[in-house]
Amino acid sequence: MKHYFAHPLLKALVIAGSLIVVAGCGQQSEEPPAPEIPEVTVQTITSQSVALTTELAGRTSPYLISEVRPQVGGIVKARLFTEGSDVEAGQTLYEIDPATYRANHNSAKAALAKAQATLKVVSLRAGRYSELVKIDAVSKQDNDQAVAEMRQAEADVASARAALDTAAINLGYTDIKAPISGRIGQSSITPGALLSANQAEPLAKIQQLDPIYIDVTQSSIELLRLRKALASGSLTTTEQARANVKLMLEDGTVYSHSGELQFSDVSVDPGTGMVTLRAVFPNPELQLLPGMYVRALLEEGVREQAILVPQQGVSRDSTGNATALLVNSDGKVENRTLTTVRTIGDQWLVEAGIEPGERVIVEGVQRVRPGVAVNAVEALAPTDAQAVSSAD
């Protein structure tokens, strides 16, 4: 069988055709495409007035607290309140057997009556002697004696009246009354118990819970920083801010009433370096109980011309400094080191490193690097973004 490529002419034709095909393919190849400019989302920074708040942990404490103790000794006849109930000031809580004190009261009353009768007799005699001595019917010595007896009788009456008052007070103390209004706790004694005057153990404890105190602590360093900011004028405060303290409860819910900051302690705890602040809150529903753990949100003041940068546009370098990528006026990416103060919501409060009007990259940071040209698209404002999402 004869091979088709055995003839030299045919072989030359095949080789020439192959070269033409290869040349044609080479003419059809194109230049590699230019790199695509990455698109990033930016937010233009503006200055604004910002209210700065601080969150401090603390606990609740009663507005008033009173430990009920007996002022006279005796046997308890009755307890006249329900544990855990609300009592009013002056309400009788316990009754001590008054028999002995009533007898002492009656004895003092009789002694006073006797002293008053004696005073009447000697007063009449002193009155007669004062007239008789003028005509020398009695001696001056007898007159002086009558006057002295009258003064002694007057002193006896005063002493008897004081003894009667003391007896009446002690008799009144047999009814142990509430010194303040509030909620009374557990009773430490029952009827039949023997009490002694001014004993160390209280019979019960009364706490006034409406209003109620919130005691929180703040580091002395933070307090100094706040005072310096107020003195320099970078932070301003008002009386309205002092009366606008919010409260977070243990379960994370916000307390429905606002409180007012009353005072800051005048000394620093040497063990912890903390200063105690006290705020007072209304508690009409008695939702707050003594000893509860709470977090108070205090308004420190207002910072005018504050600069806020979204947290998603801020990162940290290897040394821990805050950095952000910006799009400059040439449309290129620029790395910037920021001086951050604190977070406010989902934004950083920045003191230095960025100016109003500059654009921070908030989306697409991973696709760019400093010096690269980018296509910057302004981020939607929160209201605009909500409108777009609702339309979808």
In the predicted structure, residue 1 carries a pLDDT above the cut 60? no
Pair 363, 324 in one domain = yes
Domain annotation covers residue 128: yes
pLDDT, tens digit, for every residue of 285-343?
989 999 999 998 877 777 778 888 888 888 888 888 898 888 888 888 888 888 888 88
List the structure tokens of 153.
Answer: 């009788």
Domain annotation covers residue 28: no
CATH number at residue 131: 1.10.287.470
Q: Residue 95 has what pLDDT?
A: 96
Pair 228, 191 in one domain = no
Domain annotation covers residue 267: yes
Would you tell me how many other CB atoms lie within 10 Å of the CB of residue 280? Answer: 16
Q: Residue 239 has what pLDDT?
A: 60
Say what percent of the chain tops pLDDT 90. Answer: 36
In the predicted structure, residue 250 carries a pLDDT above the cut 90? no
Pair 215, 298 in one domain = yes
CATH number at residue 319: 2.40.420.20
Total domain count, the chain: 4
CATH number at residue 262: 2.40.30.170
User: What burial class does residue 247 get, using C-beta atoms within 10 Å of its C-beta: 0-12 exposed, 13-18 middle, 19+ buried?
Assistant: buried
Q: Residue 168 has what pLDDT?
A: 95
Pair 89, 185 in one domain = yes
Looking at residues 1-7, what average pLDDT do you find?
46
| Phi/psi-derived region of residue 233, left when phi > 0, alpha when psi is between -120 and 50, beta in every other case | left
Query: Residue 132's domain spans which residues?
Result: 98-173
As a whole number of angstroms, the longest Cα–Cα distance in the chain is: 193
CA–CA separation, 165 and 102 (whole Å)? 12
Pair 58, 45 in one domain = no
Pair 169, 227 in one domain = no
Q: Residue 196 has what pLDDT?
A: 92
In the predicted structure, residue 3 carries a pLDDT above the cut 50? no
Domain annotation covers residue 2: no
Contacts of 58 (CB under 8 A, 6+ apart): 214, 215, 216, 217, 277, 293, 294, 295, 296
CATH number at residue 80: 2.40.50.100
pLDDT, tens digit, for every residue of 141-179?
888 898 999 999 999 999 999 999 999 999 999 999 999
Q: Which amino acid is at 294?
A: V
Pair 144, 236 in one domain = no
Average pLDDT for the chain:
82
